[in-house]
Amino acid sequence: MAPFLRILGIETSCDETAAAVVERGQDGSSTVLSDVVLSQLDEHSAYGGVVPEIAARAHVEALDTLIEEALKRANVSLSDVDAIAATSGPGLIGGLLVGLMTGKAIARAAGKPLYAVNHLEGHALTARLTDGLSFPYLMLLVSGGHTQLILVRGVGDYERWGTTIDDALGEAFDKTAKLLGLPYPGGPAVEEAAKTGNPDRFDFPRPLVGEARLDFSFSGLKTAVRQAATEIAPLTQQDIADICASFQKAVSRTLKDRIGRGLQRFKREFPHLGEMPALVVAGGVAANLELRATLQDLCSVNGFRFIAPPLRLCTDNAVMIAWAGLERMATGAAADDLDVQPRSRWPLDSKAETLLGYGKRGAKA
């Protein structure tokens, strides 16, 4: 058996075009040979959000060049890789088509197996690449498209413990920013404005706090922000800062309750785990320093390790797609047929029920 496996990964599920070459050793060790990401932020910023048609066109224009660059930086050719991994869902269908069709074409031309990867599985397994984490562990995925708490039992073995019943957290940040006239993407803009704000000026709701179930809801919080802004309009810069700080505080307290209950459930279900359990956080919202500090404190109090991969690997990237393909190869999982189709919705936990309100824009799985 070869001492390592090597995969070319392709990611085009939303508004980042990405390609990467990654190796996995027999012992589970990882080596990232290249990691190329092209952001489309400038193309979408004027619209206050991602425009699917623009995103798909940008993927078409950039992907071939990015793949060539990834191979060049890794100092390998297609003949040197063992397989191709491409995101097959969930995400914007136009972008998924571009990446998956490109992966299929390369796989057929080079005679390589193809692994159609679930984007969420890429996030779920990244901590094994960065931290060598063992199963099982909890993952909180917080981004513009997803807010989920997932039990990661093993490769291909996931149980959804909580999900948003309406808006994803990243979407709530984006819409709050747009309402207040702040730039896109909203997460960094709201966090920056909140630094000079009074978090106690507005008593915004903390949705589902106190409930036993582990789901999330941010629509009501978003509505409360709009009502507060309307009542005091026209807004001064201090008003905007105070709203952002109060909004961020409400989100922080909501996550503290929701995730705290999840950590306690994990300890009940795995009382004899041989090592300190871990909470993994992924997604662009994980970059928010206040929310990160809240989760770190929560983990400390509950005896958990807090693991957040580097931000570059928390947001959309092809390294995680390549790694997910490598993890599947290591388990002996069969490659996908070349007639595999992209899926705009593709839950990690196929047994989880679809919740009322779930499936709006942003809740893509």
Tens of pLDDT, residues 177-235: 999 999 988 999 999 999 999 999 999 999 999 999 999 999 999 999 999 999 999 99
Q: What's the alpha-carbon Rg for the chain, to the nearest Å? A: 20
Predicted model pTM: 0.92
- Residues 120-147 have pLDDT tens digits of 999 999 999 999 999 999 999 998 788 9
Going by pLDDT thresholds of 50, 70 and 90, the confidence category of residue 15 is: confident
Instruction: Give 143's DSSP letter.
Output: S
As a residue count, the chain comes to 365
Q: Which residues pair with 101 in a beta bridge?
A: none
| pLDDT given for residue 350 in this prediction | 82
Amino acid at 173: F
Going by pLDDT thresholds of 50, 70 and 90, the confidence category of residue 274 is: confident
Cα separation, 212 vs 268, in Å, equals 14
DSSP H helical ranges for the chain: 41-45, 52-74, 93-110, 119-131, 169-179, 186-194, 219-232, 237-269, 289-302, 311-314, 319-330
| pLDDT given for residue 143 in this prediction | 82
Q: Count the neighbouring beta carbons within 10 Å of the beta carbon of residue 360.
A: 14
| pLDDT given for residue 2 in this prediction | 72
H/E segment holding residue 30: strand 30-39
- Residues 306-342 have pLDDT tens digits of 999 898 998 899 999 999 999 999 999 999 999 999 9
Nearest to 318 by CA among 6, 8, 11: 11
In the predicted structure, residue 39 carries a pLDDT above the cut 80: yes
| pLDDT given for residue 355 in this prediction | 59
Going by pLDDT thresholds of 50, 70 and 90, the confidence category of residue 292 is: very high
| pLDDT given for residue 54 in this prediction | 85
In the predicted structure, residue 359 carries a pLDDT above the cut 60: no
Nearest to 244 by CA among 285, 196, 207, 286: 196
In the predicted structure, residue 304 carries a pLDDT above the cut 80: yes
Q: Count the neighbouring beta carbons within 10 Å of the beta carbon of residue 350.
A: 8
Domains in the chain, please, with CATH?
A: 4-127+312-330 (3.30.420.40), 135-311 (3.30.420.40)
Cα separation, 145 vs 78, in Å, equals 32
| pLDDT given for residue 3 in this prediction | 85
SS3 125: helix
For range 58-83, the mean pLDDT:
96
Cα separation, 111 vs 216, in Å, equals 44
Going by pLDDT thresholds of 50, 70 and 90, the confidence category of residue 52 is: confident
- Residues 254-266 have pLDDT tens digits of 999 999 999 999 9
Plot region of 4 (φ>0 → left; ψ -120 to 50 → alpha; else → beta): beta
Q: Count the neighbouring beta carbons within 10 Å of the beta carbon of residue 291.
A: 23
Q: How far is CA 295 from CA 58, 165, 303, in A?
A: 36, 21, 12
In the predicted structure, residue 364 carries a pLDDT above the cut 60: no
Going by pLDDT thresholds of 50, 70 and 90, the confidence category of residue 47 is: low
In the predicted structure, residue 1 carries a pLDDT above the cut 80: no
Cα separation, 214 vs 216, in Å, equals 7
- Residues 84-112 have pLDDT tens digits of 999 999 999 999 999 999 999 999 999 99
In the predicted structure, residue 358 carries a pLDDT above the cut 50: no
Sequence-separated contacts (24+) of 147-151 with Cβ below 8 Å = 147/216, 147/218, 148/120, 148/348, 148/365, 149/214, 149/258, 149/259, 149/262, 150/120, 150/124, 150/348, 150/349, 151/266
Cα separation, 54 vs 36, in Å, equals 20
Nearest to 99 by CA among 130, 77, 122: 122
195-211 burial string, b = 16+ CB within 10 Å, else e?
A: eebebebbebebbbeee
DSSP track, 299-321? HHHHT-EEE---HHHHSS-SHHH
In the predicted structure, residue 244 carries a pLDDT above the cut 90: yes
